[in-house]
Structure 1
Amino acid sequence: MNDHLTNALLRPWDGPLGAPPFALVRAEDFLPALKVAAAWHRAEVTRIAEQAETPTFENTIAALERSGEALGRVRRLFWTLSSAHAAAGIRAIEAEVSALLSAHSTVINHNAALAKRIAAVHASRHDAGLTPAQVRLVESSYAGARRSGAALGAEHKERFAAIQSRLSDLSVKFGHNVLAATADWILDLGEDDLAGLPPSQRDAAAARAAAAGAPGRFHVTLDRTDYESFLSFSTRRDLREKLWRAFTGRCNGGEHDNWPIIAEILALRHERAILLGYADHAHYALEDSMAHTPAAALALLEQLWEPGKRRAAEEAAELQALIDAEGGAFTLAAWDWRFYAEQVRRSRYALDGAAVAKHLRLDAVRQAAFDTAARLYGLSFTRREDIPGYHPDVWAWEVRDKATGPVGLLFTDYLARPEKHGGAWMGTLRVQEAMDGEVLPVVYLVANFAGAPPPDTGATRLSIDEARTLFHEFGHALHGLLSRVTYPSQSGTAVARDFVEFPSKLMENWIVSKEVLSGFGVPETLIEAIRNALSYGQGFATTELIGCSLIDLAIHTCEQASADPRAFVDSELERLGMPPAVGLRHRLPYFTHIFDGGYASAYYSYAWSETLDADAFEAFAASGDIFDARLAERFRKEILSVGDTRDPMESFHAFLDRAPDPEALMRARNLIDV
């Protein structure tokens, strides 16, 4: 039943706009399909590596780009489901799938004949009449082979393969622990425990409890959106503390303890870096980034750290004064910060977060994102009810350019479910490329907004921060959808880690603009309050973000960190002077970005990309029209469409005719006087 003739996963996707056959997907088909597809890929690579012809771009690099199409298709589909719809059958095989793919990748990368051909093409790349994009692809292919251990001796290759396999296994275990710890805990409340909560959160908590067989009760989860909303509005300090301790204590011991996994991951990453000739994992990870070195990344973070702490101290003093004025006999704690910051926003800026959420219905914010893309890039989004998703909450949208026609397919998946990983992200099921004719992209967006299905009802309301998250991920989607490159490895978001967040961060600016907010029926006074309040709380926001980035770099540049990572982090936080009432946005035991994702040593990327974003949006604002057609066209042409066909700094320079202004982020975060 699972051979290649009957396994639906191995057949090309022939759904409308290249949609995957979600209705035919069965968990038990993945391992057989991946094994067959991996064998096909190895055979393709063997033919490329062992051919008699002199190595050229076309018969080696381009041939590699064409290889492994079936494997890539099945692999992307599996990881989509494992993160967004991880049913028991998927979770049960995730470790085996990860090990299989890791081993397969190592076999390909350690093919000596293939490495020799890639090196030969690399040596002659400037004399072969190649385009700049082709030269860049050759260089990235050569660097990728070297960074994957292709140049190592036999003994070191064996150890490298063992490290890769173990890291793959540990990453899966880390993610499973976070998912389990998050799903296993519920704050069960009664009617008397809901003081201060907005109606939207009450309704969502009631719906969750009813679904769990507890009608009349209210369930608050450890999903970040639920957590942050409760800490912002609940007047029950004891419950805020209980939720905070549960959220920040995940995987910090007990059944789902991630500290031993963290220690082993750090040690193996360091060993791998040394094997490859790097000083540490951070130098290995950042070699192909915009920053290039940990020192350059650290310079940006240090520029923000002290001003952020000073502003956070000012904010803390103000919040403590508010507590004292109310007669509270306690010192500001981490579970108090968001609640009292919300009070400041209400009193100083007349900003009522609950009042804002009344206007920000999920369906309306989603439509506002579509409308913004229409005004900037001439795109349209049409619901395709004939294209099923992997869950009833997942909707398909046909994306078209009003001038040129089809652009791609977008799936949206916005509501929280127990089987989803936390947070929000964009992914790609099929990348845009044009090697043998135009292939349109298929991308998807995932979030964990607390609400009730279906996602078009007015029952699901978003905070302004959640609305920014939706726009942020939509910015990633546009980066994937508007890609127009030839080679799949250079497509869409396949750019430097510290550049990939630039289009997404930039997109956030429109949801907080007067032009967009007015479309929700938000009163002008409330719009003004939102705009004025944007600069407030930047000390807290900067410190919790930059603190994570500094810790990420520290643990990946110090070999001793793996001996006792918990003690190392505590020592670093003390050295940095991290305000205890702020703390890290992501504590290490649930920091999936760096232990079950691609941001190890690169969490600073958010700040780096935000610098580019702040500078770029200043240009839109300075034009007098944030929908300026000329700037939007340049951004699409020079940033969104070019993928990794050139150095990202060249792309930024092509967009604004200059290098980025390093002080733009300081101005945007209100950390310097303007």
Structure 2
Amino acid sequence: MAHALLEAWTNPLGAPAFDEVAATDFLPAFEVAIAENRAELAAIADDPAPADFDNVMAALERSGERLGRIRRLFWTLSSAQANEGIRAIEADVSALLTAHGTAVSHDPKLFARVAAVWETRDTAGLTPEQRRLVENSYKGFVRGGAALSPADKARFGEIDQRLGQLSVRFGQNVLAATMAWEMLLDADELDGLPPATRSAAAARAARKGHAGRYLFTLDRGDYETVLTFAARRDVRERMWRGFTGRCDGDAQDNNPLIAEIVALRTESARLLGYATFADYKLDDSMAARPEAAEALMLRVWAPARRRALEEQAELQRLVEADGGGFLLAAWDWRYYAERVRCERYALDGAAFAEHLTLESVRAAAFGAAGKLYGLRFEARPDLPVYHPDVSAWGVTDAAGAPVGLIYTDYLARTEKHGGAWMGSLRTQERMDGDVRPIVYTVANFTRGADGADAHLSVDEARTLFHEFGHALHALLSNVTYPSLAGTSVARDFVEFPSKFMEHWIIAPEVLRGFDVPDALIVALGRADTYGQGFATVEFLASAFVDLALHREAPGDVAGFERVVLDRLGCPPVIGMRHRLPYFTHVFDGGYASAYYSYLWSEVLDADAFGAFEEGGGIFDADPARRFRDEILARGDSRDPMDSFVAFRGRGPDEGALLRARGLAA
């Protein structure tokens, strides 16, 4: 019944009633909640009293509470538990929400009242946080088309509707293509693969009726493991072609969708007065302009490309020393790079993974948050979850006061979209009492065989800490207004707290807690900057293509990747980390024109971590307190650069990134 969605969550900690919700409940619940929100907004727009902060801005913040609760719950399930019932209504839900959002943005009476508050922002005695809210709200209305002519508003609304449909189709195509691909291997094809990987593949094959064989999928964990450890070159090539060829000319071909999405985004941006979609998207980012984002990437690209070419030459020498008789290909790079790590640095990635079980890495993340911020995490098996793989944890501070609730969902399954992410089911706010956040983190790690705990690579452990960093950003938010809370910050600032958290999983103090031998810890430290040429070029290739695509809006999308990469002089043996046909960050997420933001966030992260290195170590209480108070707690209540300066005492040092990656001259 839809009432399970419409009623407030009454479980302990305000946990959602996942066990009472069915896919068929959502559409009728959305219709009720949207009608309710329309009435709330009409009351704000028609209020005869002069527009002021309380009767416009604060009222807007209070409106739509029920709709927001249902929306967040739906998108949680559609990304992490997209069963047939959810997939069947995704397009309808997207259309409903897009139409409602457009109607709100284009309501002339509502915009007039928002504009009236904005015009008096300098004389109304607002707090800095209130002024920030006014400016954000006004700009949001303008970016949503509020100032357009009636004809342009109509076209803008049509574009939004179509873009919503295309985004859903894009994501569903990627999910379907990923689910459809399988690679069955025999025992004699497994040379080099770690025992835990073999066991998991054998169990997966047995569940599919292929006892005695080994089944691999396109989950990134399988992809990275096979390309890193499989001694059989043909096996590596099959995996690489399967992973990188998804949705490119096959039954789930996304190229026509990409072409239409880019054309519509460009048209929408031009309606708003921007030359390109990239100009529109970056206007409210820290970079502010596409030229600034591109300039940052180019400054990193040159040294990264030089280093990558050096790495390529070294790996080719290894191939020749083995008598390989072939040129290094994209599916060879990780395998031979792992050889270098083992032979030169004594770093055995497979041996490392034997110590990094999923539960121990999760416990280490919780433990690090305890030492840094005084947080405590208590398992809550009494709370309903949306899948048996999911665990709920109550979070309290050092004094035992409630901080929030976090769900962790780490294991790959067919209903999940690929990759890893964090999301919110309820945001922090202090408008009418202390509302505590509810968040979740999702990943796609390969499950262990026969119920055994999964084993993670160092990179997968970093991923868990990365998403946990996002969760801490939401959990430790301390602002008044919900739209300014937690991770609701500029796209090129949101990845900063998450990248920052990655430092703690590779710290010797933390690794010793996994019983990792000192020799391996030392080897990881020595090898930490090896391969950064490849890693940086692989990432930047995707970021450059994303930005160029939304600046140039080419007609030939299928060939555009190669055009941009050739223009950059990208080594052909290094592919994009995410090719366009399955680049969900850009076409089914919020990173269009802004995938570069991970790089800028890493500049902030590398520089910020220096405060700990210069102080008393990774658990130094003083920088930890300042990071919590000046970065995590602030949300978007002030300009992100002001938050960084408040923490570091100065603006960010770009050179910190090059030094951290070992790319400095």
Match of 1:401 in 2: 397
Cα separation, 2, equivalents of 1:10 and 1:583:
47
The letter of the residue matching 2:566 is E
Structure 2 alignment gaps of length 5 or more: none
Three-state SS of the structure 1 residue aligned to 2:601 is helix
**Contact 1:363–1:458, Cα closer than 8 Å, also in 2:** no
Find the partner of 1:136 among 132, 137, 155.
132
Is 1:324 aligned to residue 320 of structure 2?
A: yes
Match of 1:78 in 2: 74
Cα deviation digits, residues 135-190 of structure 1 (max 9, x gap):
00000000000000000111000000000000000000000000000000011112
Report the CA distance between 1:569 and its aligned residue.
2.2
Conservation of the 8 A alpha-carbon contact between 2:448 and 2:455: no
In the TM superposition, what is the alpha-carbon distance from 1:458 to its structure 2 partner?
A: 5.0
Could you tell me which amino acid in structure 2 is paired with residue 112 of structure 1? P
Aligned twin of 1:494: 488
CA contact (8 A) 2:301 2:537 kept: yes
- Tell me the amino acid that sits aligned with residue 331 of structure 2: W
In the alignment, is residue 659 of structure 1 matched against residue 651 of structure 2? Answer: yes
- Alignment match, 1:619: 611
Counterpart check, 1:127 vs 2:123 = yes
Amino acid at match of 1:625: G
CA distance in 1, matches of 2:320, 2:556: 39
Equivalent residue number for residue 306 of structure 1: 302
What's the CA shift for 1:213? Answer: 2.3
Name the amino acid aligned to 2:513. G
1:446 to 442, 467, 474: 442
Partner of 1:484: 478
Match of 2:355 in 1: 359
For the residue of structure 2 that corresponds to 1:413, the secondary structure is strand
Counterpart in the other structure of 2:175: 179
C-alpha deviation, 1:599, in angstroms:
0.2
Question: What does 1:162-561 align with in structure 2 at a 5 Å threshold?
Answer: 162-403=158-399, 405-452=401-448, 458-559=452-553, 561=554
Length-normalised TM-score, structure 2: 0.99
Q: CA deviation at 1:255?
A: 1.0
Check the 8 A contact 1:196/1:233 in 2, yes or no: yes
CA RMSD of aligned residues (A): 1.0
SS of equivalent to 1:125 = coil
Structure 2 residue 20 is the aligned partner of structure 1 residue 28: no
AA partner of residue 460 (structure 1) = A
Q: Which residue of 2 aligns with 1:587?
A: 579
| Whole-Å separation in 2 of the counterparts to 1:618 and 1:85 | 39
Unaligned runs of 5+ in 1: none
The count of residues paired between Structure 1 and Structure 2 equals: 665
- Indicate the SS of the match to 2:495: helix
| Distance in 1, Cα, partners of 2:323 & 2:277 | 50
- SS of the residue 2:122 aligns to: helix
Structure 2 CA distance for aligned equivalents of residues 429 and 290 of structure 1: 26
| Structure-1 separation of matches of 2:448 and 2:560 | 42
The 1:138–1:453 alpha-carbon spacing in structure 2 relative to 1, beyond 3 Å, is farther
Alignment of 1:560-571 (within 5 A): 561=554, 563-571=555-563
Contact map agreement 2:196 2:448 (CA 8 A) in 1: no
Q: TM-score, normalised by structure 1?
A: 0.98
Q: Which deviates the most, 190-199 or 253-262?
A: 190-199
Q: Work out whether residues 424 and 437 of structure 2, in 8 Å CA contact, stay in contact via their aligned partners in 1.
A: yes
Q: Of 150, 153, 164, which aligns to 1:154?
A: 150
What is the one-letter code of the residue matched to 2:453?
A
**Deviation readout 1:463-498 (Å, 9 max, x if unpaired):** 000000000000000001000111000010000000
- Structure 1 residues 485 and 63 mapped into 2: Cα distance closer, same or farther (>3 Å)? same
- Residues 1:38 and 2:8 are matched in the alignment: no
Q: Aligned partner of 1:646: which letter?
A: R
CA distance in structure 1 between the aligned counterparts of 2:436 and 2:58, rounded to whole angstroms: 19
What is the letter of the counterpart of residue 142 of structure 1? Y
Equivalent-residue separation in structure 2 for 1:271 and 1:653 (angstroms): 37
User: How far does residue 428 in structure 1 lie from its aligned partner after superposition?
Assistant: 0.3
Cα distance change on mapping 1:510 and 1:107 into 2, 3 Å = same
1:547 Cα offset (Å) = 1.1
Q: What is the CA–CA distance in structure 2 between the aligned matches of 1:337 and 1:554, rounded to whole Å?
A: 26
**Counterparts of 1:304 and 1:133 in 2: how far apart (Å)?**
35
Deviation at 1:453, TM superposition (A): 8.3
Q: 1:64 to 1:453 in 2, by over 3 A?
A: farther
C-alpha separation between the residues in 1 aligned to 2:168 and 2:452?
36
Runs of 4+ in structure 1 over 6 Å off: none
Does the alignment pair 1:58 with 2:54?
Answer: yes
Q: Matched residues in 2 for 1:655 and 1:32: separation?
A: 47
SS at match of 1:334: coil
> What per-residue deviation string (whole Å, max 9, x for no partner) do you get for residues 44-99 of structure 1?
00010011000000000110000000100000000000000000000000011111
Distance 2:394 2:452 in 1: 23
Partner SS, residue 478 of structure 1 = helix
Structure 2: distance between partners of 1:49 and 1:174: 36
Asked whether the 8 Å contact 1:362–1:458 carries over to 2, the reply is no
Partner of 2:664: 672
Partners of 1:655 and 1:207 lie apart in 2 by 49
Q: SS where residue 447 of structure 1 aligns?
A: strand
**% identical aligned pairs:** 62
Contact 1:556 1:601 (C-alpha < 8 Å) held by counterparts: yes
Q: Distance in 2 between matches of 1:200 and 1:631?
A: 39
1:404 deviates by 5.6
Shift of 1:279: 0.8
Match of 1:657, as an amino acid? G
Q: Which residue of 2 aligns with 1:68?
A: 64
Deviation at 1:576, TM superposition (A): 0.9
Partner of 1:650: 642
Question: Which residue identity lines up with residue 201 of structure 2 in the other structure?
Answer: A
CA distance in 2, matches of 1:204, 1:140: 48
Counterpart Cα distance in 2 of 1:388 and 1:233: 39
Contact 2:203 2:449 in 1 (8 A): no
